[in-house]
Amino acid sequence: MKVPAQEISQDRKRIEKDRAKKVFALLKKNYPEAKIALDFNTPFELLVATILSAQCTDARVNIVTPDLFRKYPTLKSFAEADRRELEKDIKSTGFFRQKAKAVMNCSRAIVEKFGGEVPRTMEELLTLDGVGRKTANVLLGNAFGVPGIAVDTHVRRLAQRLGFSKTDDPTKIEFDLMGLFPKNNWTTLNHLLMSHGRKICIARAPKCEECILNELCPSAFSFSSGKSRNPVEKKKGKKSEN
Ligand code: SF4
């Protein structure tokens, strides 16, 4: 008797969800303290730190932000900052002109359109200059407790290597992961994948021998001389990261 295609695909989904559950449990056991690496005290500080973290390490951002938030303690002070001076203040995070512009535009928009409070919905956050789904999900998950998956370079790489997503499009990866993991785990999953990506599943030379996921990972031991046999990575070529 022929099994209907719909049933086969539901079975596959169940198997993948089961594998996802095991991956989550192992990561959680291994990184019980995993949390966001950016330092912040308020939603607005997190927004600024996240904008500054584009193409920059979180460690570098954490060096810059204490003085920055002392100098510009409110949204209004960022909105009214001298652009050139702000550029100098954040220069070491790279792309400082675009970032200064985004921070100032965001601050003005929040003051003018949202009564000085960082908005709490994806839809509203996406109206802010320099805020895409990744930044919005960082804000929602870490400042407001709204589950979200921010697809950065580590999350993208891990999702692909673990076979949870076959695309290179961050939004599709986000939705692929959302379909496999329960909503209440999304923000934690984010931190876990980032921790594992920084420590073990490194872009150029993943440490598969040491990896707690190697029995569940379809890409395990498929890397040699910095070359990946993972089809998504092969297609786009190797990329460096922070
Ligand atoms: S087994 Fe290797 S490729 Fe798979 S998650 Fe671990 S380090 Fe990454």
**Residue 240 predicted with pLDDT over 80:** no
Per-chain mean pLDDT for the chain: 92
Question: Ligand 1 center to residue 109 CA distance, Å?
Answer: 42
| Mean pLDDT of all residues in 136-145 | 97
Give the model confidence (pLDDT) of 100-132 as tens digits. 999 999 999 999 999 999 999 999 999 998 899
One-character DSSP codes across the chain: -PPPHHHHHHHHHHHHHHHHHHHHHHHHHH-TT---SS--SSHHHHHHHHHHTTTS-HHHHHHHHHHHHHHS-SHHHHHTS-HHHHHHHHGGGS-HHHHHHHHHHHHHHHHHHSTTS---SHHHHTTSTT--HHHHHHHHHHHS--------HHHHHHHHHTTS-----HHHHHHHHHHHS-GGGHHHHHHHHHHHHHHTS-SSS--GGG-TTTTT-TTTT-EETTEE--HHHHHH------
Q: Report the pLDDT value the prediction gives residue 231, as an integer from 0 to 100.
A: 57
Which ligand 1 atom is at minimum distance from the Cα of 214?
A: 1
| Mean pLDDT of all residues in 11-30 | 95
pLDDT band at 242 (very low <50, low <70, confident <90, very high): very low
Indicate the fold that domain 43-143 takes in CATH. Endonuclease III; domain 1 (1.10.340)
Q: For residue 121, what are the contacts with CB-CB under 8 A and spacing of at least 6?
A: none
Known catalytic residues are 134, 152
- Report how far apart, in Å, the C-alpha atoms of 44 and of each of 140, 145, 182 are: 12, 15, 28
Q: Report the pLDDT value the prediction gives residue 217, as an integer from 0 to 100.
A: 97
Closest CA to ligand 1's atom 8: 201
pLDDT band at 11 (very low <50, low <70, confident <90, very high): confident
**Residue 239 predicted with pLDDT over 50:** no
List all residues whose CB is within 6 A of at least one atom of ligand 1.
Answer: 161-162, 200-201, 206-208, 211, 213-214, 217, 219-220
Question: Ligand 1 center to residue 145 CA distance, Å?
Answer: 29
Q: Report the pLDDT value the prediction gives residue 86, as an integer from 0 to 100.
A: 98
Q: Report the pLDDT value the prediction gives residue 4, as an integer from 0 to 100.
A: 67
Q: Report the pLDDT value the prediction gives residue 241, as an integer from 0 to 100.
A: 43
Q: Report the pLDDT value the prediction gives residue 12, as an integer from 0 to 100.
A: 87
- φ/ψ of residue 228, rounded to 5: -100, 145
CA–CA dist 200, 80 (Å, integer):
43
Which ligand 1 atom is at minimum distance from the Cα of 218?
A: 4
Q: Side chain identity at 64, as an amino acid letter?
A: V
Indicate the fold that domain 7-34+150-236 takes in CATH. Endonuclease Iii, domain 2 (1.10.1670)
CA–CA dist 79, 199 (Å, integer):
38
Task: Provide the whole-model pTM.
Answer: 0.87
* Strand-pair category, 227-228 with 223-224: antiparallel
* Ligand 1 pocket test target in 154, 165, 202, 211 with most atoms within 8 Å of CB: 211
Which ligand 1 atom is at minimum distance from the Cα of 208?
A: 2
Q: pLDDT > 90: what percent of the chain?
A: 86
Domain range list for the chain: 7-34+150-236, 43-143
pLDDT band at 229 (very low <50, low <70, confident <90, very high): low
Length of the chain: 242
Contact 228, 205 (CB under 8 A): no
**Residue 203 predicted with pLDDT over 60:** yes
**Residue 238 predicted with pLDDT over 50:** no
Question: Ligand 1 center to residue 179 CA distance, Å?
Answer: 21
Which ligand 1 atom is at minimum distance from the Cα of 211?
A: 6
Question: Ligand 1 center to residue 4 CA distance, Å?
Answer: 34
Q: Which two tokens stand for residue 214?
A: 């190697």
Question: Ligand 1 center to residue 226 CA distance, Å?
Answer: 13
Q: Report the pLDDT value the prediction gives residue 139, as an integer from 0 to 100.
A: 97
- Report how far apart, in Å, the C-alpha atoms of 94 and of each of 46, 60, 152 are: 18, 10, 17
